[in-house]
A and B are shown apart, each in its own frame.
Chain A
Amino acid sequence: QQQVKQSPQSLIVQKGGIPIINCAYENTAFDYFPWYQQFPGKGPALLIAIRPDVSEKKEGRFTISFNKSAKQFSLHIMDSQPGDSATYFCAARGKLIFGQGTELSVKP
């Protein structure tokens, strides 16, 4: 019940494409769902987060879609750029349980 399952493990898109990363959780008590972006050698940086009372949240080119009944949420990156190439982690609170990560490569 404490797991967060993330897919795909890696993703390659062309510049301007819209990568979509998916996460599924089990514990219905989770009340906070952030996405983190991590570059090599750096700590994860909070990108965007959502609470289960809304179904979508947009911040710039990043959008979280949340499906409470399916216990799933996803990250969409609009107009992706090579600078978006990083590893992305979804997470869920209580003490933040992380997914396994998705390595995104955006080709110019």
Chain B
Amino acid sequence: DTGVSQNPRHKITKRGQNVTFRCDPISEHNRLYWYRQTLGQGPEFLTYFQNEAQLEKSRLLSDRFSAERPKGSFSTLEIQRTEQGDSAMYLCTGTPNTGELFFGEGSRLTVL
């Protein structure tokens, strides 16, 4: 158990709907990353936070995607107007100062 929890674990939605995923790292994880993983591929970096500051966003993160970490603790990833290509596993990691990434179980999105 990495101490990183993600909710919901699985979300099925219709194309065009908005979805929001939540990640709760442990308190020592001052850095938080979001990754996306499609079947048969390695995780792809989306964005990361140092405490509450969003320091980097991948060009994979279109304007339909927004991530927040309002108090430097939990984070949310919202996808607006979902498309079938958004179907993937969305992974969150917490990272202490030592740099290791500890992944949550992921939130699987299926867009019909």
Name A residues whose Cβ lies closer than 8 Å to a Cβ of B.
6, 32, 34, 36, 42-46, 49, 89, 91, 93, 95-101
Contacts and interface: CB of A to CB of B under 8 A. Distances in A.
Contact of B104 (A43, A49, A98, A100): A43
Contacts of B43: 44, 89, 96, 98
Contacts, number: 48
A36 B42 CA distance: 10
**Which of B42, B43, B105 lies at the interface centre, i.e. has the most chain A CB atoms within 10 A of its CB?**
B42
A45 B33 contact: no
Contacts of B89: 43
A49 B99 CA distance: 11
Interface string B83-112: 000000101000000011111111000000
B45 interface: yes
A36 B105 CA distance: 13
A101 B41 contact: yes
Interface residues of B, number: 22
B42 A95 contact: no
B44 A98 contact: yes
B100 A44 contact: no
At the interface, is chain B mostly helix, strand, loop or mixed?
loop
15 contacts: A34-B100, A43-B89, A43-B91, A43-B103, A43-B106, A44-B43, A45-B2, A45-B103, A46-B103, A91-B42, A96-B45, A96-B101, A98-B44, A100-B42, A101-B41
A95 B45 contact: yes
Given A93-B99, A95-B48, A42 B40 contact: no
